[in-house]
Copies of this chain bind each other. A is one copy, B any other.
Amino acid sequence: MTLRPMLFACALAVLAPPAAAAAPYRSMQQILDASPASDWREPAPENVLYLELDAGRVVIELAPGFAPQHVANIRTLARAGFWDGTSIYRVQDNFVAQFGDADAEDAAKAKDLGAAERKLPAEFERGIQGLAFDVLPDADGWAPQVGFADGFAAGRDAAAGKAWMAHCYGVVGAGRNLDADSSIGAELYVVIGQSPRQLDRNITQVGRVIQGIELLSALRRGPEPMGFYADPAQRTPIRAVRLASEVPPQERTRLQLLRTDTQTFRDMVEARRNRRDDFYKRPAGHIDLCNVPLPVRVAGS
């Protein structure tokens, strides 16, 4: 049989009609390839966290603009090596992978938090003042307005004067107990499934994975309720969690992210909203916030 075992054909540029006004369709990759260097930014090393596993490195960009106190605490914990030797102790299918100190509940066994804060206020949302917000015009059921701020998918309520990070795939949040202010950034989770947007404005989000998510999303799911592993041997060991700024420059993973205030980004979103390659027979005419790619590339590539 000749059916090619692929879902997606490579995006091919559609030939422009002879006298058409419409620009020829360009795929996301073509749009990115044509972007000027100034469309890309490299995160400051103090805003980049490396989660070092036996299988490799997961790179997280922190969000101090949304959760300044949690991010400050995470920096303190990373500098002290708090997570070194801890584990990924929960992986729940279509939801989250969570890591930190599996014994945090047991006062006799919990790791010392050192100089880190033991109590922080909830940072579920922030004021909209001073926050550049690149609006995504597409309808969203979860928020009055959605878009991108500081490189993160976000919601905004202008009437309330608030903005917040959206729980999209790869987002990193601070696990908490019942009280809103019960997170300190020591126990972190990463979204590995359908975006659980119901958590927006209910949990402090601290960043997102920008490389290596597949080292978390492909982990064996925990057999206990909510994806926990009762057997410590089944947990995934964490070698270390370090700030990029604490790592020698030659050992850093240098990544660049597409700025969301660029024409390149707007063109890319439109190319995804209305796919006009040979594969798609009916362009959607819409894109959801969490379906918008946030492109990452290796610096120098």
Contacts and interface: CB of A to CB of B under 8 A. Distances in A.
Interface in A156-193: 168-170, 173, 175-178, 180, 182-184, 186-187, 189, 193
Copies of this protein in the assembly total 2
Interface stretch (A40-48, A247-255, A287-295): A287-295
Contacts of A278: 178
Interface string A250-262: 0000000000000
B194 A284 contact: no
A200 interface: yes
Contact of A176 (B3, B178, B221): B3
Contacts of A178: 9, 278-279
A157 B186 CA distance: 47
Contact of A3 (B4, B183, B213, B282): B183
Contacts of A284: 142, 197-198, 200
Contacts of A213: 93-94
A234 to B, nearest CB: 13
Interface stretch (A17-25, A31-39, A61-69, A97-105): A97-105
Nearest to A93: B214
A196 B196 CA distance: 15
B139 A141 contact: yes
Contact of A102 (B5, B139, B217, B272): B5
A221 to B, nearest CB: 4
A138 interface: yes
Name, among A6, A118, A196, A197, the residue most crowded by chain B CB atoms within 10 Å (CB to CB). Answer: A6
A3 B288 contact: no
9 contacts: A1-B107, A3-B176, A5-B102, A6-B90, A8-B226, A140-B141, A141-B287, A198-B280, A202-B281
Q: Which 3 residue pairs across A and B have the least CB separation, nearest first?
A: A141-B286, A139-B141, A214-B221
